Chain A
Amino acid sequence: MWVYAVLLIGLVLLVGPFLWMVASSVKTSAELHHVPPTWIPQTFTLDNYTTIFTKLNFPQYFVNSVIVATIVVASNLLFCSMIGYALAKLRFRGKSAVFLIVLATIMVPQTVYLVPLFVLMSNLGFVNSYAGLILPFAAQAFGVFLMRQFIQGIPDELLEAARMDGAGEFTVFRRVVLPLLGAPLATLGILTFLGSWNNFLWPLIIATSDSMYTLPVAVATFSIGQNAIDYGMLMAGSVVLIAPVLLVFLLLQRFVQQGIATTGLKG
Protein backbone atom coordinates (compact mmCIF):
# COMPACT_ATOMS: atom_id res chain seq x y z
CA MET A 1 0.00 0.00 0.00
CA TRP A 2 2.88 2.38 0.80
CA VAL A 3 4.03 1.96 -2.80
CA TYR A 4 0.83 3.64 -3.95
CA ALA A 5 1.38 6.45 -1.47
CA VAL A 6 4.94 7.13 -2.66
CA LEU A 7 3.93 6.90 -6.34
CA LEU A 8 1.04 9.25 -5.72
CA ILE A 9 3.28 11.83 -4.06
CA GLY A 10 5.60 11.48 -7.06
CA LEU A 11 2.70 12.07 -9.42
CA VAL A 12 1.66 15.21 -7.55
CA LEU A 13 5.23 16.54 -7.72
CA LEU A 14 5.38 15.83 -11.46
CA VAL A 15 1.95 16.98 -12.56
CA GLY A 16 1.68 19.77 -9.97
CA PRO A 17 3.85 22.32 -11.80
CA PHE A 18 1.78 21.83 -14.98
CA LEU A 19 -1.45 22.48 -13.09
CA TRP A 20 0.19 25.48 -11.43
CA MET A 21 1.14 26.80 -14.88
CA VAL A 22 -2.44 26.50 -16.16
CA ALA A 23 -3.91 28.03 -12.99
CA SER A 24 -1.45 30.92 -13.05
CA SER A 25 -2.13 31.66 -16.70
CA VAL A 26 -5.75 32.58 -15.94
CA LYS A 27 -5.05 34.75 -12.87
CA THR A 28 -4.92 38.51 -12.71
CA SER A 29 -1.58 40.19 -12.19
CA ALA A 30 -2.58 41.25 -8.66
CA GLU A 31 -3.44 37.70 -7.68
CA LEU A 32 -0.16 36.35 -9.09
CA HIS A 33 1.79 38.57 -6.74
CA HIS A 34 -0.34 37.74 -3.73
CA VAL A 35 1.35 36.20 -0.66
CA PRO A 36 0.44 33.49 0.25
CA PRO A 37 -0.37 32.23 -3.28
CA THR A 38 -3.87 31.05 -4.16
CA TRP A 39 -4.42 27.60 -5.68
CA ILE A 40 -7.67 28.26 -7.48
CA PRO A 41 -7.94 31.56 -9.37
CA GLN A 42 -10.23 33.98 -7.48
CA THR A 43 -11.03 35.96 -10.60
CA PHE A 44 -10.79 33.99 -13.83
CA THR A 45 -9.35 36.00 -16.71
CA LEU A 46 -8.09 35.27 -20.22
CA ASP A 47 -6.26 38.59 -20.40
CA ASN A 48 -2.84 36.94 -20.41
CA TYR A 49 -3.74 34.94 -23.51
CA THR A 50 -5.32 37.91 -25.25
CA THR A 51 -2.22 39.99 -24.59
CA ILE A 52 0.35 37.51 -25.88
CA PHE A 53 -1.72 36.82 -28.98
CA THR A 54 -2.50 40.44 -29.83
CA LYS A 55 0.44 42.45 -28.49
CA LEU A 56 3.27 39.93 -28.51
CA ASN A 57 2.95 38.24 -31.90
CA PHE A 58 2.45 34.73 -30.57
CA PRO A 59 0.47 33.75 -33.68
CA GLN A 60 3.64 34.29 -35.72
CA TYR A 61 5.81 32.21 -33.33
CA PHE A 62 3.25 29.44 -33.32
CA VAL A 63 3.08 29.36 -37.12
CA ASN A 64 6.90 29.36 -37.32
CA SER A 65 7.08 26.40 -34.96
CA VAL A 66 4.43 24.54 -36.97
CA ILE A 67 6.13 25.21 -40.32
CA VAL A 68 9.55 24.13 -39.06
CA ALA A 69 8.23 21.00 -37.31
CA THR A 70 6.11 19.93 -40.31
CA ILE A 71 8.93 20.18 -42.83
CA VAL A 72 11.49 18.61 -40.48
CA VAL A 73 9.19 15.65 -39.80
CA ALA A 74 8.27 15.15 -43.47
CA SER A 75 11.83 15.29 -44.73
CA ASN A 76 13.12 12.93 -42.05
CA LEU A 77 10.38 10.38 -42.73
CA LEU A 78 11.09 10.42 -46.45
CA PHE A 79 14.89 10.70 -46.53
CA CYS A 80 15.58 8.38 -43.58
CA SER A 81 13.33 5.62 -44.90
CA MET A 82 14.95 5.94 -48.35
CA ILE A 83 18.52 5.68 -47.13
CA GLY A 84 17.40 3.09 -44.59
CA TYR A 85 16.12 0.95 -47.47
CA ALA A 86 19.37 1.36 -49.39
CA LEU A 87 21.47 0.44 -46.35
CA ALA A 88 19.29 -2.51 -45.41
CA LYS A 89 18.44 -4.09 -48.76
CA LEU A 90 20.69 -2.85 -51.57
CA ARG A 91 24.31 -3.85 -52.18
CA PHE A 92 26.71 -1.09 -53.16
CA ARG A 93 30.29 -0.17 -52.42
CA GLY A 94 30.80 2.32 -49.63
CA LYS A 95 27.58 1.28 -47.93
CA SER A 96 29.15 0.32 -44.62
CA ALA A 97 31.29 3.47 -44.65
CA VAL A 98 28.14 5.58 -45.10
CA PHE A 99 26.44 3.82 -42.19
CA LEU A 100 29.49 4.19 -39.94
CA ILE A 101 29.84 7.91 -40.65
CA VAL A 102 26.15 8.49 -39.99
CA LEU A 103 26.26 6.47 -36.76
CA ALA A 104 29.40 8.21 -35.55
CA THR A 105 27.72 11.63 -35.65
CA ILE A 106 24.95 10.55 -33.26
CA MET A 107 27.44 11.00 -30.43
CA VAL A 108 28.67 14.44 -31.52
CA PRO A 109 27.12 17.15 -29.33
CA GLN A 110 25.33 20.03 -31.00
CA THR A 111 27.72 22.46 -29.32
CA VAL A 112 30.56 21.21 -31.54
CA TYR A 113 29.10 22.32 -34.84
CA LEU A 114 27.10 25.41 -33.81
CA VAL A 115 29.82 27.88 -34.75
CA PRO A 116 30.82 26.56 -38.22
CA LEU A 117 27.16 25.90 -39.00
CA PHE A 118 26.40 29.55 -38.28
CA VAL A 119 29.35 30.67 -40.42
CA LEU A 120 28.06 28.44 -43.24
CA MET A 121 24.50 29.74 -42.88
CA SER A 122 25.62 33.34 -42.87
CA ASN A 123 27.62 32.78 -46.06
CA LEU A 124 24.63 31.12 -47.70
CA GLY A 125 22.40 33.99 -46.60
CA PHE A 126 20.23 31.64 -44.53
CA VAL A 127 20.50 33.51 -41.22
CA ASN A 128 17.04 34.42 -39.91
CA SER A 129 15.21 32.28 -42.48
CA TYR A 130 13.16 29.08 -42.54
CA ALA A 131 15.99 27.40 -44.46
CA GLY A 132 18.36 28.23 -41.60
CA LEU A 133 15.93 26.89 -39.01
CA ILE A 134 15.12 23.70 -40.93
CA LEU A 135 18.15 22.42 -42.87
CA PRO A 136 20.36 21.29 -39.95
CA PHE A 137 17.53 19.02 -38.74
CA ALA A 138 16.11 17.86 -42.07
CA ALA A 139 18.32 14.75 -42.17
CA GLN A 140 18.99 13.25 -38.74
CA ALA A 141 21.21 10.24 -38.10
CA PHE A 142 18.93 8.75 -35.46
CA GLY A 143 16.21 8.16 -38.08
CA VAL A 144 18.59 6.26 -40.38
CA PHE A 145 19.47 3.91 -37.55
CA LEU A 146 15.81 3.31 -36.69
CA MET A 147 14.67 2.79 -40.29
CA ARG A 148 17.54 0.48 -41.24
CA GLN A 149 16.80 -1.77 -38.26
CA PHE A 150 13.13 -2.14 -39.19
CA ILE A 151 13.68 -2.56 -42.92
CA GLN A 152 16.23 -5.32 -42.31
CA GLY A 153 13.42 -7.26 -40.69
CA ILE A 154 11.36 -7.29 -43.91
CA PRO A 155 11.81 -10.67 -45.69
CA ASP A 156 13.80 -10.49 -48.94
CA GLU A 157 11.31 -12.86 -50.61
CA LEU A 158 8.70 -10.12 -50.46
CA LEU A 159 10.95 -7.72 -52.35
CA GLU A 160 12.06 -10.41 -54.82
CA ALA A 161 8.46 -11.27 -55.61
CA ALA A 162 7.78 -7.65 -56.56
CA ARG A 163 10.98 -7.46 -58.64
CA MET A 164 9.96 -10.65 -60.50
CA ASP A 165 6.75 -8.90 -61.44
CA GLY A 166 8.91 -6.27 -63.09
CA ALA A 167 8.77 -3.58 -60.43
CA GLY A 168 11.65 -1.09 -60.33
CA GLU A 169 13.42 -0.36 -57.06
CA PHE A 170 11.42 2.78 -56.44
CA THR A 171 8.15 0.93 -56.93
CA VAL A 172 9.35 -1.83 -54.58
CA PHE A 173 10.16 0.83 -52.01
CA ARG A 174 6.90 2.72 -52.40
CA ARG A 175 4.50 -0.22 -52.83
CA VAL A 176 6.08 -2.95 -50.70
CA VAL A 177 8.42 -1.41 -48.12
CA LEU A 178 6.68 1.85 -47.15
CA PRO A 179 3.29 0.27 -46.33
CA LEU A 180 5.06 -2.08 -43.88
CA LEU A 181 6.73 0.80 -42.04
CA GLY A 182 3.64 2.20 -40.32
CA ALA A 183 4.74 1.77 -36.69
CA PRO A 184 8.39 2.81 -37.10
CA LEU A 185 7.42 5.82 -39.22
CA ALA A 186 4.92 6.86 -36.54
CA THR A 187 7.61 6.49 -33.88
CA LEU A 188 10.17 8.46 -35.88
CA GLY A 189 7.59 11.09 -36.79
CA ILE A 190 6.56 11.69 -33.19
CA LEU A 191 10.10 11.74 -31.81
CA THR A 192 11.17 14.13 -34.58
CA PHE A 193 8.17 16.35 -33.95
CA LEU A 194 8.91 16.53 -30.23
CA GLY A 195 12.57 17.25 -30.92
CA SER A 196 11.76 20.00 -33.39
CA TRP A 197 8.98 21.60 -31.33
CA ASN A 198 11.14 21.75 -28.19
CA ASN A 199 14.40 22.61 -29.96
CA PHE A 200 15.92 25.76 -28.52
CA LEU A 201 19.65 26.38 -28.88
CA TRP A 202 19.91 26.49 -32.68
CA PRO A 203 16.74 28.58 -33.23
CA LEU A 204 18.05 30.95 -30.55
CA ILE A 205 21.19 31.48 -32.65
CA ILE A 206 19.76 31.51 -36.18
CA ALA A 207 16.50 33.44 -35.57
CA THR A 208 17.84 36.94 -35.17
CA SER A 209 14.59 38.86 -35.45
CA ASP A 210 11.22 38.59 -33.82
CA SER A 211 9.49 37.47 -37.04
CA MET A 212 11.52 34.24 -37.17
CA TYR A 213 11.27 33.26 -33.49
CA THR A 214 9.92 29.83 -32.72
CA LEU A 215 7.85 29.38 -29.54
CA PRO A 216 10.68 28.27 -27.20
CA VAL A 217 12.88 31.17 -28.33
CA ALA A 218 10.03 33.62 -27.79
CA VAL A 219 9.19 32.30 -24.30
CA ALA A 220 12.86 32.27 -23.25
CA THR A 221 13.52 35.73 -24.68
CA PHE A 222 10.52 37.23 -22.92
CA SER A 223 11.44 35.59 -19.62
CA ILE A 224 14.95 36.96 -19.27
CA GLY A 225 16.73 40.26 -19.76
CA GLN A 226 15.75 43.81 -18.95
CA ASN A 227 12.39 43.73 -20.69
CA ALA A 228 11.13 40.56 -19.03
CA ILE A 229 7.35 40.34 -19.16
CA ASP A 230 5.27 39.25 -16.19
CA TYR A 231 4.66 35.69 -15.03
CA GLY A 232 1.00 35.64 -16.04
CA MET A 233 1.90 36.11 -19.69
CA LEU A 234 4.86 33.74 -19.38
CA MET A 235 2.59 31.03 -18.00
CA ALA A 236 0.11 31.61 -20.84
CA GLY A 237 3.02 31.39 -23.31
CA SER A 238 4.20 28.18 -21.67
CA VAL A 239 0.70 26.69 -22.01
CA VAL A 240 0.72 27.54 -25.73
CA LEU A 241 4.19 25.99 -26.04
CA ILE A 242 3.45 22.80 -24.09
CA ALA A 243 -0.19 22.06 -24.99
CA PRO A 244 0.42 20.71 -28.53
CA VAL A 245 3.12 18.25 -27.46
CA LEU A 246 1.10 17.04 -24.49
CA LEU A 247 -1.83 16.45 -26.82
CA VAL A 248 0.30 14.50 -29.30
CA PHE A 249 1.90 12.55 -26.47
CA LEU A 250 -1.35 11.64 -24.71
CA LEU A 251 -2.89 10.44 -27.97
CA LEU A 252 0.14 8.51 -29.18
CA GLN A 253 2.16 7.75 -26.06
CA ARG A 254 2.41 4.04 -26.95
CA PHE A 255 4.62 4.87 -29.94
CA VAL A 256 6.73 7.37 -28.01
CA GLN A 257 7.52 5.05 -25.12
CA GLN A 258 8.07 2.05 -27.40
CA GLY A 259 10.45 4.09 -29.52
CA ILE A 260 12.43 5.17 -26.47
CA ALA A 261 12.52 1.66 -25.00
CA THR A 262 13.65 -0.02 -28.23
CA THR A 263 16.29 2.46 -29.27
CA GLY A 264 17.46 3.68 -25.88
CA LEU A 265 18.35 6.93 -27.60
CA LYS A 266 17.09 10.43 -26.99
CA GLY A 267 19.02 11.93 -24.11
Chain B
Amino acid sequence: MSAQQALVASVPRARPAARRGWLKEALTGWAFSAPFLLIFLAFLALPILASAILSFTDFSLGNLVDPFSAHFIGLGNYARLLHDPNFLQAALTTTIFVVFGTVLNLAVGLAAAVALNRGISRFRAVFRVGYYLPVVSSIVAIAVIWRFLFNTDFGLVNGLLHTFGIAGPDWLGNPTLAVGIIVALMVWRNFGNAMIIFLAGLQGIPNDLYEAARIDGANRWQEFRSITLPMLKPTTLLLTVVTTIGFLQVFEEPFVMTQGGPLNKTRPISMYVYQQGFNFFHQGYASAMAYTLFVVIAAVTLIQFRLLRSDT
Protein backbone atom coordinates (compact mmCIF):
# COMPACT_ATOMS: atom_id res chain seq x y z
CA MET B 1 0.00 0.00 0.00
CA SER B 2 1.51 3.30 -1.08
CA ALA B 3 1.55 6.32 1.12
CA GLN B 4 -1.15 7.99 -0.91
CA GLN B 5 -3.48 5.01 -0.74
CA ALA B 6 -2.84 4.78 2.97
CA LEU B 7 -3.78 8.40 3.33
CA VAL B 8 -6.97 7.89 1.36
CA ALA B 9 -7.85 4.78 3.35
CA SER B 10 -7.38 6.66 6.59
CA VAL B 11 -10.12 9.11 5.69
CA PRO B 12 -12.84 6.80 4.36
CA ARG B 13 -15.62 9.40 4.40
CA ALA B 14 -13.87 12.12 2.47
CA ARG B 15 -13.23 10.02 -0.61
CA PRO B 16 -16.72 9.07 -1.79
CA ALA B 17 -17.86 12.65 -1.30
CA ALA B 18 -14.97 14.02 -3.34
CA ARG B 19 -15.55 11.41 -6.06
CA ARG B 20 -19.20 12.29 -6.38
CA GLY B 21 -18.24 15.96 -6.70
CA TRP B 22 -15.74 15.11 -9.42
CA LEU B 23 -18.23 13.05 -11.39
CA LYS B 24 -20.93 15.66 -11.04
CA GLU B 25 -18.59 18.41 -12.22
CA ALA B 26 -17.52 16.33 -15.22
CA LEU B 27 -21.13 15.64 -16.18
CA THR B 28 -21.99 19.31 -15.79
CA GLY B 29 -19.01 20.22 -17.96
CA TRP B 30 -20.15 17.92 -20.74
CA ALA B 31 -23.76 19.04 -20.35
CA PHE B 32 -22.72 22.68 -20.83
CA SER B 33 -20.58 21.74 -23.83
CA ALA B 34 -23.07 19.39 -25.46
CA PRO B 35 -25.35 21.79 -27.39
CA PHE B 36 -22.39 23.51 -29.02
CA LEU B 37 -20.48 20.30 -29.65
CA LEU B 38 -23.40 18.45 -31.23
CA ILE B 39 -23.96 21.09 -33.91
CA PHE B 40 -20.26 21.79 -34.28
CA LEU B 41 -19.27 18.15 -34.73
CA ALA B 42 -22.14 17.28 -37.08
CA PHE B 43 -21.99 20.30 -39.37
CA LEU B 44 -18.35 21.37 -39.20
CA ALA B 45 -15.90 18.79 -37.83
CA LEU B 46 -17.50 15.83 -39.60
CA PRO B 47 -17.63 17.54 -43.03
CA ILE B 48 -13.98 18.60 -42.63
CA LEU B 49 -12.99 14.97 -42.09
CA ALA B 50 -15.36 13.70 -44.76
CA SER B 51 -13.79 16.08 -47.26
CA ALA B 52 -10.43 14.33 -46.83
CA ILE B 53 -12.04 10.96 -47.60
CA LEU B 54 -14.10 12.38 -50.47
CA SER B 55 -10.95 13.72 -52.10
CA PHE B 56 -9.74 10.13 -52.67
CA THR B 57 -12.96 9.10 -54.44
CA ASP B 58 -14.62 9.63 -57.80
CA PHE B 59 -17.72 11.05 -56.06
CA SER B 60 -20.02 12.82 -58.54
CA LEU B 61 -23.66 13.73 -59.08
CA GLY B 62 -24.87 10.10 -59.21
CA ASN B 63 -23.46 9.37 -55.74
CA LEU B 64 -25.36 12.16 -54.04
CA VAL B 65 -28.25 9.93 -52.94
CA ASP B 66 -26.03 7.02 -51.93
CA PRO B 67 -22.63 8.45 -50.88
CA PHE B 68 -21.18 4.97 -50.29
CA SER B 69 -21.50 3.95 -53.93
CA ALA B 70 -18.47 6.11 -54.87
CA HIS B 71 -15.14 4.41 -55.57
CA PHE B 72 -11.75 5.00 -54.00
CA ILE B 73 -9.30 6.14 -56.63
CA GLY B 74 -6.33 6.81 -54.38
CA LEU B 75 -4.39 9.92 -55.31
CA GLY B 76 -6.08 10.11 -58.71
CA ASN B 77 -7.73 13.48 -58.08
CA TYR B 78 -4.52 14.98 -56.75
CA ALA B 79 -2.56 13.72 -59.77
CA ARG B 80 -5.19 15.19 -62.06
CA LEU B 81 -4.79 18.61 -60.40
CA LEU B 82 -1.17 18.80 -61.47
CA HIS B 83 -2.15 18.35 -65.12
CA ASP B 84 -5.23 20.58 -65.11
CA PRO B 85 -4.28 23.86 -66.83
CA ASN B 86 -7.42 25.45 -65.34
CA PHE B 87 -6.29 24.58 -61.83
CA LEU B 88 -2.76 25.85 -62.47
CA GLN B 89 -4.21 29.12 -63.81
CA ALA B 90 -6.46 29.37 -60.72
CA ALA B 91 -3.44 28.76 -58.48
CA LEU B 92 -1.53 31.52 -60.27
CA THR B 93 -4.48 33.92 -59.99
CA THR B 94 -4.84 33.13 -56.27
CA THR B 95 -1.13 33.77 -55.75
CA ILE B 96 -1.36 37.16 -57.48
CA PHE B 97 -4.40 38.11 -55.37
CA VAL B 98 -2.69 37.02 -52.15
CA VAL B 99 0.72 38.59 -52.73
CA PHE B 100 -0.41 41.96 -54.07
CA GLY B 101 -3.49 42.06 -51.85
CA THR B 102 -1.67 41.29 -48.61
CA VAL B 103 1.24 43.68 -49.20
CA LEU B 104 -1.04 46.57 -50.22
CA ASN B 105 -3.56 45.81 -47.48
CA LEU B 106 -0.92 46.01 -44.76
CA ALA B 107 0.80 49.05 -46.27
CA VAL B 108 -2.40 51.07 -46.61
CA GLY B 109 -3.67 49.88 -43.21
CA LEU B 110 -0.43 50.89 -41.51
CA ALA B 111 -0.29 54.26 -43.25
CA ALA B 112 -3.85 55.05 -42.20
CA ALA B 113 -3.20 53.92 -38.62
CA VAL B 114 -0.04 56.02 -38.28
CA ALA B 115 -1.75 59.06 -39.77
CA LEU B 116 -4.72 58.67 -37.42
CA ASN B 117 -2.58 57.98 -34.37
CA ARG B 118 0.02 60.72 -34.54
CA GLY B 119 -0.82 63.01 -37.39
CA ILE B 120 -4.16 64.29 -36.18
CA SER B 121 -6.07 64.63 -32.99
CA ARG B 122 -9.38 66.10 -34.14
CA PHE B 123 -11.96 64.19 -36.18
CA ARG B 124 -10.11 60.93 -35.46
CA ALA B 125 -13.39 59.15 -34.67
CA VAL B 126 -14.91 60.28 -37.98
CA PHE B 127 -12.03 58.82 -39.98
CA ARG B 128 -11.95 55.63 -37.91
CA VAL B 129 -15.61 55.01 -38.60
CA GLY B 130 -15.47 56.12 -42.24
CA TYR B 131 -12.47 53.94 -43.04
CA TYR B 132 -14.11 50.99 -41.38
CA LEU B 133 -17.44 51.21 -43.23
CA PRO B 134 -16.42 48.89 -46.11
CA VAL B 135 -15.25 46.16 -43.71
CA VAL B 136 -18.72 45.65 -42.29
CA SER B 137 -20.55 46.03 -45.61
CA SER B 138 -21.56 43.09 -47.75
CA ILE B 139 -18.86 42.24 -50.30
CA VAL B 140 -21.57 41.27 -52.77
CA ALA B 141 -23.13 44.74 -52.64
CA ILE B 142 -19.74 46.44 -52.82
CA ALA B 143 -18.66 44.32 -55.78
CA VAL B 144 -21.91 45.23 -57.56
CA ILE B 145 -21.29 48.93 -56.86
CA TRP B 146 -17.73 48.68 -58.12
CA ARG B 147 -18.85 46.90 -61.26
CA PHE B 148 -21.15 49.81 -61.93
CA LEU B 149 -18.36 52.35 -61.24
CA PHE B 150 -16.05 50.58 -63.70
CA ASN B 151 -18.70 49.93 -66.33
CA THR B 152 -17.18 50.75 -69.70
CA ASP B 153 -20.11 52.65 -71.18
CA PHE B 154 -21.79 54.53 -68.35
CA GLY B 155 -19.63 53.95 -65.26
CA LEU B 156 -18.51 56.86 -63.10
CA VAL B 157 -14.79 56.24 -63.68
CA ASN B 158 -15.00 56.40 -67.44
CA GLY B 159 -17.49 59.25 -67.11
CA LEU B 160 -14.87 61.28 -65.24
CA LEU B 161 -12.20 60.36 -67.79
CA HIS B 162 -14.65 61.41 -70.53
CA THR B 163 -14.95 64.92 -69.07
CA PHE B 164 -11.17 65.22 -69.43
CA GLY B 165 -11.44 64.05 -73.02
CA ILE B 166 -10.00 60.59 -72.35
CA ALA B 167 -11.67 57.48 -73.72
CA GLY B 168 -11.69 55.05 -70.78
CA PRO B 169 -10.68 51.42 -71.25
CA ASP B 170 -12.86 48.33 -70.94
CA TRP B 171 -11.80 47.82 -67.30
CA LEU B 172 -13.28 44.41 -66.59
CA GLY B 173 -12.91 43.09 -70.14
CA ASN B 174 -9.13 43.29 -70.02
CA PRO B 175 -7.54 40.46 -67.97
CA THR B 176 -4.73 42.55 -66.49
CA LEU B 177 -6.96 45.51 -65.61
CA ALA B 178 -9.61 43.18 -64.16
CA VAL B 179 -7.06 41.49 -61.87
CA GLY B 180 -5.84 44.92 -60.78
CA ILE B 181 -9.37 46.13 -60.01
CA ILE B 182 -10.15 43.02 -57.98
CA VAL B 183 -6.96 43.48 -55.94
CA ALA B 184 -7.88 47.15 -55.42
CA LEU B 185 -11.37 46.11 -54.32
CA MET B 186 -9.97 43.57 -51.83
CA VAL B 187 -7.67 46.20 -50.32
CA TRP B 188 -10.35 48.92 -50.38
CA ARG B 189 -12.72 46.70 -48.46
CA ASN B 190 -10.30 45.16 -45.95
CA PHE B 191 -7.60 47.63 -44.99
CA GLY B 192 -9.82 49.14 -42.27
CA ASN B 193 -9.38 45.90 -40.35
CA ALA B 194 -5.59 46.13 -40.53
CA MET B 195 -5.89 49.79 -39.56
CA ILE B 196 -7.83 48.98 -36.37
CA ILE B 197 -5.39 46.27 -35.31
CA PHE B 198 -2.38 48.49 -36.13
CA LEU B 199 -3.99 51.31 -34.10
CA ALA B 200 -4.25 48.97 -31.11
CA GLY B 201 -0.59 48.03 -31.63
CA LEU B 202 0.48 51.67 -31.91
CA GLN B 203 -1.23 52.53 -28.67
CA GLY B 204 0.88 49.87 -26.96
CA ILE B 205 4.15 51.61 -27.83
CA PRO B 206 5.41 53.59 -24.81
CA ASN B 207 5.61 57.31 -25.45
CA ASP B 208 9.01 57.57 -23.68
CA LEU B 209 10.63 55.95 -26.70
CA TYR B 210 9.48 58.76 -28.96
CA GLU B 211 10.46 61.42 -26.42
CA ALA B 212 13.94 59.93 -26.09
CA ALA B 213 14.29 59.83 -29.87
CA ARG B 214 13.19 63.43 -30.16
CA ILE B 215 15.79 64.52 -27.59
CA ASP B 216 18.37 62.73 -29.75
CA GLY B 217 17.18 64.81 -32.68
CA ALA B 218 15.41 62.10 -34.71
CA ASN B 219 12.97 63.21 -37.38
CA ARG B 220 9.53 61.69 -38.03
CA TRP B 221 10.80 59.21 -40.60
CA GLN B 222 13.66 58.04 -38.37
CA GLU B 223 11.22 57.59 -35.49
CA PHE B 224 9.00 55.49 -37.75
CA ARG B 225 11.91 53.37 -39.02
CA SER B 226 13.63 52.69 -35.72
CA ILE B 227 10.77 52.72 -33.20
CA THR B 228 7.34 52.24 -34.77
CA LEU B 229 8.17 49.50 -37.28
CA PRO B 230 10.20 47.27 -34.90
CA MET B 231 7.64 47.66 -32.11
CA LEU B 232 4.83 46.70 -34.49
CA LYS B 233 6.53 43.49 -35.64
CA PRO B 234 4.26 41.06 -33.72
CA THR B 235 1.16 42.94 -34.90
CA THR B 236 2.42 42.93 -38.48
CA LEU B 237 3.10 39.21 -38.48
CA LEU B 238 -0.30 38.41 -36.97
CA LEU B 239 -1.95 40.58 -39.63
CA THR B 240 0.10 38.94 -42.37
CA VAL B 241 -1.17 35.53 -41.28
CA VAL B 242 -4.80 36.60 -41.00
CA THR B 243 -4.77 38.55 -44.28
CA THR B 244 -3.03 35.79 -46.21
CA ILE B 245 -5.54 33.21 -45.01
CA GLY B 246 -8.39 35.54 -45.91
CA PHE B 247 -7.15 36.34 -49.41
CA LEU B 248 -6.27 32.70 -50.18
CA GLN B 249 -10.02 32.08 -49.92
CA VAL B 250 -11.19 35.06 -51.95
CA PHE B 251 -14.46 34.29 -53.75
CA GLU B 252 -17.11 37.00 -53.78
CA GLU B 253 -15.07 39.78 -55.40
CA PRO B 254 -14.22 37.94 -58.65
CA PHE B 255 -17.50 35.99 -58.62
CA VAL B 256 -19.60 39.15 -58.75
CA MET B 257 -17.17 41.38 -60.68
CA THR B 258 -16.11 39.10 -63.54
CA GLN B 259 -17.42 35.55 -62.86
CA GLY B 260 -13.77 34.52 -63.25
CA GLY B 261 -13.32 35.95 -66.75
CA PRO B 262 -11.95 37.22 -69.05
CA LEU B 263 -10.30 33.96 -70.19
CA ASN B 264 -10.58 32.62 -66.62
CA LYS B 265 -7.76 34.95 -65.66
CA THR B 266 -9.56 36.22 -62.55
CA ARG B 267 -10.82 32.83 -61.34
CA PRO B 268 -9.25 31.91 -57.97
CA ILE B 269 -9.07 28.37 -56.57
CA SER B 270 -12.14 28.76 -54.36
CA MET B 271 -14.27 29.66 -57.39
CA TYR B 272 -12.94 26.69 -59.34
CA VAL B 273 -13.78 24.45 -56.36
CA TYR B 274 -17.30 25.88 -56.38
CA GLN B 275 -17.71 25.30 -60.12
CA GLN B 276 -16.30 21.75 -60.08
CA GLY B 277 -18.38 20.84 -57.02
CA PHE B 278 -21.69 22.54 -57.74
CA ASN B 279 -21.85 23.29 -61.47
CA PHE B 280 -20.09 20.23 -62.90
CA PHE B 281 -20.82 18.00 -59.85
CA HIS B 282 -17.31 16.54 -59.66
CA GLN B 283 -17.40 16.56 -55.86
CA GLY B 284 -14.43 14.23 -55.36
CA TYR B 285 -12.22 16.36 -57.56
CA ALA B 286 -13.48 19.57 -55.91
CA SER B 287 -12.65 18.14 -52.48
CA ALA B 288 -9.10 17.30 -53.56
CA MET B 289 -8.69 20.88 -54.75
CA ALA B 290 -10.14 22.28 -51.53
CA TYR B 291 -7.84 20.12 -49.43
CA THR B 292 -4.84 21.20 -51.47
CA LEU B 293 -5.80 24.80 -50.72
CA PHE B 294 -6.15 23.90 -47.04
CA VAL B 295 -2.70 22.30 -46.92
CA VAL B 296 -1.23 25.42 -48.53
CA ILE B 297 -3.00 27.62 -45.97
CA ALA B 298 -1.76 25.45 -43.10
CA ALA B 299 1.79 25.49 -44.47
CA VAL B 300 1.81 29.26 -45.02
CA THR B 301 0.44 29.82 -41.52
CA LEU B 302 3.03 27.51 -39.98
CA ILE B 303 5.89 29.22 -41.80
CA GLN B 304 4.64 32.64 -40.77
CA PHE B 305 4.32 31.61 -37.13
CA ARG B 306 7.85 30.17 -37.26
CA LEU B 307 9.07 33.54 -38.46
CA LEU B 308 7.07 35.18 -35.67
CA ARG B 309 8.68 33.00 -33.03
CA SER B 310 12.26 33.32 -34.28
CA ASP B 311 12.00 37.06 -34.75
CA THR B 312 10.57 38.16 -31.44
Indicate if A6 sits at the interface (CB-CB under 8 A). yes
Whether A112 contacts B248 in the complex (CB less than 8 A), given A91-B25, A102-B40, A264-B238, comes out as: no
Q: Mark A83-127, 1 if CB is under 8 A from B, else 0.
A: 101110011110100100110010111111111111110110000
In the complex, the answer to whether B43 meets A37 with C-beta atoms within 8 Å is: no
Assess whether A80 is interfacial by the CB under 8 Å rule: yes
Among the stretches A45-53, A154-162, A178-186, A197-205, the one at the interface with B is: A197-205
- A241 within 8 Å of B (CB atoms): yes
CA distance A216 to B243 in the complex (A): 23
> In the assembly, what is the distance between CA of A95 and CA of B28, in Å?
12
* Total chain B interface residues with beta-carbon distance under 8 A: 101
A200 in contact with B132 given A20-B156, A107-B297, A264-B242 (CB within 8 Å): no
CB-nearest residue of chain B relative to A11?
B130
Please state if B252 and A136 are interface contacts (CB–CB under 8 Å). no
Assess the A108–B142 pair: CB atoms within 8 A: no
Q: Is the CB of B131 within 8 A of A3?
A: no
Closest to A94 in B: B30
Complex interface residues of chain B between 262 and 312 (CB less than 8 A to chain A): 269-270, 273-274, 277-278, 283, 286-287, 290-291, 293-294, 297-298, 301
Q: Which residues of A contact B133 (CB under 8 A)?
A: 14-15, 18, 246, 249
The segment from B5-13, B173-181, B192-200, B224-232 found at the interface with A is B192-200
A176 at the interface (CB under 8 A from B): no
- Nearest A residue to B122, CB-CB: A4
Inter-chain CA distance A204–B238, complex, in Å, is: 31
- Does A211 reach chain B (CB closer than 8 Å)? no
A66 within 8 A of B: no
Given that A7-B127, A35-B159, A139-B44 are contacting pairs, would A261 and B137 also be in contact in the complex, using a CB cutoff of 8 Å? no
* A118–chain B nearest beta-carbon distance, Å: 7
Contact B278 A109 (CB under 8 A): no
Given B50, B159, B256, B294, which contacts A220 in the complex, CB threshold below 8 Å?
B256
Q: How many A-B residue pairs have CB under 8 A?
A: 296
Docked pose: A216 CA to B188 CA in angstroms: 19
Which secondary structure dominates chain A's binding surface?
A: helix
**One of B79-87, B113-121, B210-218 contacting the partner:** B113-121
- The binding surface of chain B is classed by DSSP as helix
List residues of B (69-127) whose CB comes within 8 Å of A's CBs: 112, 115-116, 119-120, 126-127
Q: Tell whether, in the assembled complex, residue A112 and residue B28 are in contact, meaning their CB atoms are under 8 Å apart.
A: no
The reply to whether A83 and B36 contact each other, CB–CB distance below 8 Å, is: yes
Contacts A11-B131, A36-B163, A234-B144 hold; do A116 and B156 have CB atoms under 8 A apart?
A: no
Check: B3 CB closer than 8 A to any chain A CB.
no
Interface contact B197-A264, CB-CB below 8 Å: yes
Any chain B CB within 8 A of the CB of A56?
A: no
Q: Does B293 lie within 8 Å of A37, measured CB to CB?
A: no
Name the A residues within 8 Å of B28 (CB-CB). 86, 90, 92, 169
Residue of A nearest to B243 (CB): A267
Asked whether B287 lies within 8 Å of A35 as measured between CB atoms, the reply is no
- Min Cβ gap B139→A in Å is 7
Nearest chain A CB to B229 CB, angstrom units: 18
- Beyond A91-B29, A111-B269, A241-B141, 6 additional pairs, beta carbon < 8 A: A10-B127, A79-B35, A109-B245, A235-B148, A245-B136, A245-B137
